Amino acid sequence: MADDASDFARSMTIATSGLRAQAGRMRVISENIANADSTAATAGGNPYRRKVPTFSSALDRTLDAKVVTLGKIRPDQSAFRVKYEPSNPAADVQGNVKYPNVNPLVEMTDMREAQRSYEANLNIISATRRMIQRTLDILKA
């Protein structure tokens, strides 16, 4: 029975780490979407640069389980979008305005994937809780 309890705890810990990581990923994606059309504060300056979340695995020594964590948030080094808009206050001397290297379609696809991963981890937690409750009900009988 002690092994079952540690298996339940391990399952909950792993799924919870997945929830936290995906929640962090969704925050980064939301920031990218919010800044997709922003321009630089100064003429000819660089606008918002897309951020890319990374994941890393860590060992939870108390449960001897690998968990996932949100790793470093890295800047996407791809080129900015450039549009000729000489009347824009953010335009450089040639009249070009740099826009963020954010593709809203890619961000929305990433957001949906993160949501699905979040929901999958939530389902694991719910199933584990149901198994714990059933175990307790059996022990009471």
Q: Which residues contact 101 (CB under 8 A, 6 or more apart)?
A: 49, 50, 76, 78, 79, 80, 81
Report the distance separating Cα 141 and Cα 138, nearest Å: 5
DSSP-assigned states of every residue in 20-35? HHHHHHHHHHHHHHHT
Predicted pLDDT of residue 4? 63
Q: Write b or e for each residue in 98-130: b if 16 or more Cβ atoms lie within 10 A of its Cβ, otherwise e.
A: bbbbbeeeebeebbeebeebbeebeebbeebee
What is the model's pLDDT at position 2? 52
4-51 tens-digit pLDDT:
667 888 889 999 999 999 999 999 999 999 999 999 988 889 999 999
Whether the model clears a pTM of 0.95, i.e. scores above it, the answer is: no
For residue 106, pLDDT beyond 90: yes
Question: Domain ranges in the chain?
Answer: 2-140
Antiparallel, parallel or unpaired: β 65-75 and 51-60: antiparallel
pLDDT in tens, 44-70: 899 999 999 999 998 888 878 889 999
Q: Which residue has the tokens 């584990």?
A: 128
